[in-house]
Amino acid sequence: MSPIAPDPAVVPVAAPPSATMLSYEGVYKAFGDHLVLKNVNLAVANHEVICLIGASGCGKSTLLRCTNLLEPIQAGKIVLNGAEITAPGVKADQIRRRVGLVFQSYNLFPHMNVLKNITLGPRKVLRISRSEAEAEAEQLLERFGLRDKLSEYPDRLSGGQQQRVAVVRALAMRPEVLLLDEITSALDPEMVGEVLDIIVELKGLGMTMMLATHQMAFARRIADRIVFLDGGAILEQGDPETFFRHPREERTRQFLDRVMSSL
């Protein structure tokens, strides 16, 4: 793992790096009669960056959406910092604020400017005063090179800028873990870099992250661990070097061949 310089302004004061931040135990998810996640078991360590890869429809996005409790699971459990978040009676709203989620299509609120987009959560959910929330938002924007976009509306920003604002919006809630759902898939190629740079910076700050991504080169560079999903189940996982050089499973090899040859 690369050296970490934890920054309390971005990443909440953390547990020891070895501790488990997030774990999935026998998670099943079905949409109607279609099984999307099959017995997913995974433990994510504190400060760990995991890249989920796999073909479209393999369950990457669904796994992330289930972690944010946007989708209920049908069996198994998800545990965040020692507490089961999928237990009955758990208030979903109180979990979601601790689990940041960034979407492929940014989903910024078009009727609010950048500052309002970012401070909405802190003000409404964390009940932070307006001035305090705005000060924190400005700090984050400054840090990620978006200070001058503060009062712009989303439709005046490029795709890359919008997605960076979306990341900042998630960060403003001080999430314990950040989930990134194919955040560069909707971007023009020349804007992918600026968004990925933020992820690299966040890794340096010690943010625990799970990324669903099709950017193999980036996954290889940033991931502590690659998790390969196939048909809703984890087929293979390992550190990037081993995974990309010596995939064990035939299905993994086929997938990598297909993805790499298209580059």
Partner 1 sequence: MDIPASPTAPAALSADEVSRILRKPPLWRRPEVLRSTAIALVSTVLLVLVLRWLLLRSAGWESVQAAFFSREDFKAAWPKVWDGFKLNVRIFMIAEPIVLLCGLLLAIMRGTRNPALFPIRALAIGFIDLFRGAPALLVILALGFGMPGLRIAGLPSSPVFWGTVAVIITSSAYTAETFRAGIESIHPSQRAAARSLGLTGFQAFTTVVLPQGVRRVIPPLISGFVGLQKETSLVAVIGPLDATRQAQIYASLHFNYTSFLAAALLFILVTIPLARLTDYLMERTSRDRQVGGLV
Q: Which residues bind partner 1 (CB under 8 A)?
A: 68, 70, 93-94, 96-97, 100-101, 103, 105, 107-111, 120-121, 124-125, 155, 169-170, 173
Exposure of 175 by Cβ count < 10 A (0-12 exposed, 13-18 middle, 19+ buried)?
Answer: buried
CB of 16 to partner 1, least distance (A): 26
Task: Tell me how far apart the alpha carbons of residues 102 and 65 are, in angstroms, rounded to a whole number.
Answer: 10
CB of 106 to partner 1, least distance (A): 8
Question: Which C-beta is closer to partner 1: that of 21 or that of 170?
Answer: 170
Question: Which C-beta is closer to partner 1: that of 39 or that of 105?
Answer: 105
Question: Which C-beta is closer to partner 1: that of 29 or that of 96?
Answer: 96
Task: Tell me how far apart the alpha carbons of residues 125 and 137 are, in angstroms, rounded to a whole number.
Answer: 15
Q: How many CB atoms lie within 10 A of CB 54?
A: 23
Question: Which C-beta is closer to partner 1: that of 97 or that of 248?
Answer: 97
Percentages of the chain per state (helix, strand, coil), in multiples of 5: 35, 25, 40
CB of 156 to partner 1, least distance (A): 9
CB of 97 to partner 1, least distance (A): 3
Q: How many CB atoms lie within 10 A of CB 56?
A: 9
